[in-house]
Amino acid sequence: MHFSPRDMLGTGIKVLGLIMLLKSLQAFIGLISVAGLNNNFTTRWELWQVLLTFISPLVLLIVGLCLLKYADRLTDFLCKTDDPEADIQQENLFQLAIKFIGLILIVFAIPEAFRIIGNLFYMKAVSEAIDTVTQSQFVWERSLSTLIRLLLGFYLMCSGRFFYHLAYPVKDE
């Protein structure tokens, strides 16, 4: 049985989509207790807090479904080779692995970015009523790392030449 790099990348994207669905299911199960503990919200910020906890699992679910449904389109975008049955060469496989790692970084950073944005909205809504120091620390600590993961992910997904040249230096002839 012969698998092309395109086949491997497409399968990897579908596996990543399945992992995202399972992580969203795990997160939703963990949130059942949060929703069940108090469904009698007395203030607006309490409702906001519960709603914002559902953003990250919902984004995981949506991204996972999109990866499963549109894996072929994403594979076509990432694997721009004219010959879909090209021989598997170590360098080509490494380039696809770089793109796949970039996709993983992006996919796992997106829910975190939504969580940060949700915390910003929460802080704005309740800043006059309660102390938001903990949320501020969360936002500042996570913002830079999430931004770096997104940027590095897009770089790896679109190019990743630096890492490719580290692994496969150009030989002088």
Query: Does residue 97 carry a pLDDT above 90?
Result: no
pLDDT attached to residue 26: 86
Q: Which two tokens stand for residue 74?
A: 């994403």
How much is the pTM?
0.70
Query: Which tens digit of pLDDT belongs to each residue from 142-152?
Result: 899 999 999 99
The least confident of 1-15, 26-40, 70-84 is 26-40
CA dihedral 130, 27, 37, 137 (to 10 degrees): -10
Q: How many residues does the chain have?
A: 173
The least confident of 5-14, 54-63, 79-88 is 79-88
Residue 83 DSSP code: -
Query: Does residue 18 carry a pLDDT above 90?
Result: yes
Q: Which two tokens stand for residue 59?
A: 């984004």
pLDDT band, very low/low/confident/very high, at 41 (cuts 50, 70, 90): low
pLDDT band, very low/low/confident/very high, at 86 (cuts 50, 70, 90): low
Identify whether the C-beta of residue 81 lies closer than 8 Å to the C-beta of residue 9: no
**Which amino acid is located at 47 in the chain?**
L
Query: Does residue 66 carry a pLDDT above 80?
Result: yes
Query: Does residue 173 carry a pLDDT above 70?
Result: no
Question: pLDDT averaged over the chain?
Answer: 81
d(CA 173, CA 156): 28
pLDDT band, very low/low/confident/very high, at 61 (cuts 50, 70, 90): very high
Q: What percent of the chain has pLDDT over 70?
A: 81
Please tell me the number of Cα atoms within 13 Å of 143 on its side-chain side. Answer: 11
Query: Which tens digit of pLDDT belongs to each residue from 115-133?
Result: 888 778 777 777 676 777 7
